[in-house]
Structure 1
Amino acid sequence: MDFVFKLVGFLIIVSIVQSKGNVKDLMSVKLNENTIYDCVDIYKQPSLSHPLLQNHKVQLEPSFAKPKNQVKGESERKNIIECPNGTVPIIRNTKKYVANAQYWTEKHLNPLTTDSHGTHIAGVRTTDQGPYRGVIASLSVHDLNISRDQASYAHIYIGSGIYNKVNFIQTGWMINPSLFGDGRAWSYGFWKGANGAGCYNTICRGFVQVSKTDHLSGPLPQLPAGGERAISVSIQQDKKTGNWWTTDIRQNEPDVHIGYWPKELFDLISKSANIVGVTGSVQASPSGQSPPMGNGHFPSDDEAGSARVEEVKFIDNDFVVKGSDQYKLEKLLDSSKCYGLKDGKKSILFNYGGPGGNSCGI
């Protein structure tokens, strides 16, 4: 009988250990040497220790919309980790990840100017001074061969600038092997706020993650054979709180509100933004070699042959969503030898991209 009790006790202990092991596995996922996701208590995530957020109350969902009741379907984003209720996925700030992010932050495009050293752009932005409350767009996503000292990306953005001071928020997709640790296309976010503070994703304190499944930054699914892919994203200010939310907009399933940048982080866009836009961008290597942009092809009469931006909408000062055709837009293209920009038809606002090269200018 003693043997039976000891055996039962042993099995219980093994069961508990295995259960703890399974919970531990659920709480973190390692993608590569640069990227580890940890499930963190939503009310104890690192961003909330920011000095400007000492009295900030976490907003669990925006007031401007609720997820649509749609038929479930495939999403262009991939849920790498589904955190337990009450927790959210946060990328662990390893030394290598932080160092790489700081390096690329210094080189990152300032969307409010077309004069950024080593950066080339192709896109549009509004010409009047707003105010604006957000932007929505669908961006085609492509696989590119990018070296470790280059970056290629496409994003939507909102921002304001005065004298030498700027505030802006961007989100979209990026290929940056040095930052992300592989050559895949990743979703990403970038912000710059009061006193010049800001960074990629959650490298520094600021962005408040709310979704337990959708991440601000994560690898996008590989392109299916003969298929196409795109992400539809938005940056929208909440009417009640003033926080700037980003949402993963889906066609066949409910939208997912990923999280937000609290208004307290900003001194120029806490109430509204003066400029909104959509842009394809690249960062050249120190040698001057510029990478491909979009899908690497110049725009042509074949709209499916190059990268495209479609379903673009802007949100005005009264929080009304309006089509981009109701605004006068400024075209931005600083290196026509290496990249192109072409007006689209119907829902496509523009096609863009090109092969890059070693004579694109600086």
Structure 2
Amino acid sequence: MSITPISELNDRARDVFRLVVESYLGTGMPVGSRTISKMASLSLSPASIRNVMQDLEELGLLAAPHTSAGRMPTETGLRLFVDGMMQAAEPSAEERRAIEAGISESGPIEEALSAATATLSGLSACAGIVMVPKREPVLRQFGFVPLNARQALAVLVGQDGSVENRVLDLPEGVSPIALNEAANFMSARFGGLTLRQAGEALTREMEAERHALDNSARDLAARGLAIWSHDADDRPVLIVRGQSHLLDDGAAADLERARQLLEQLEGKQEILDLLRGALAGSATKIFIGSENKLFSLSGSSVIAAPYRGADGRVVGVVGVIGPTRLNYARVIPMVDFTAQTLSRLMR
């Protein structure tokens, strides 16, 4: 169905439509003509309002879920409201502080992304989602710290100052000298390379027998690179926080919708495919209900904004998933501010 341009609605229809949508988004309940007539900003009788609401229903902008139960916006109506009528409110100072405080500049970037998603979820009362950028950290230094006879702590320091530790199982009989030799060799040969490049370089060294390491130290170097490379491959590309927010009173009354939505969140590949659609643009994108086939059954909305890396390129997407009746005017700027904050962190 094509969306009726806002310019084709007269002033009376626009006023009634706006009040119906705003009331519905605030309560989640269909809105009756008597409720609208009591609003001080509108001087129309209930009968006049009913006629206007009927006209809006015929245009596909409102719907009556039950006889005499009032009306609610359709997905088409919500799209018209979001694109043409909504007045977005900037995040409050308290909300901005909460978002900035939740995003730390120390530690792995995944921790900052997870914290940002959790904060956004709590503030919006939706599920928070973030697409994690695929990173190849540039290496600076390696180290091995003995823990016991069969384990050591493998330490990787990146060029950006990040430090990551992994517990590494050791072959029997590895000496502290071999640990030190392997660490020195890796730091000297692989500093300035990515993990993939370091792995390729080590393979070439071993094939050409140019290495100055004994077998145990060489094995440690290979194990150290392997544990980080495997970890990088297994890192999540999608982080979801706050799924419990989706089980609100409205969802509890429609358990099938809630079940469908939670299943869709579990099928992360489909969510990723949707978010990749937001990577192409520079602005916040809003997907309402069945506009995207993924949410045609659960009737959910997605608000997603891209964030950028140090070179200014879009590297990921952050956003929320919630019911179609979420507070768009408040949540859209909140998502946009979170994306801007992440972009500053990535620089």
TM-score (norm 1): 0.25
| Structure richer in strand, relative to its length | 1
Question: Structure with the greater relative contact order (CA < 8 A, sep ≥ 6): 1 or 2?
Answer: 1
TM-score (norm 2): 0.26
| Structure richer in helix, relative to its length | 2
State the structure with more CA Rg: 2
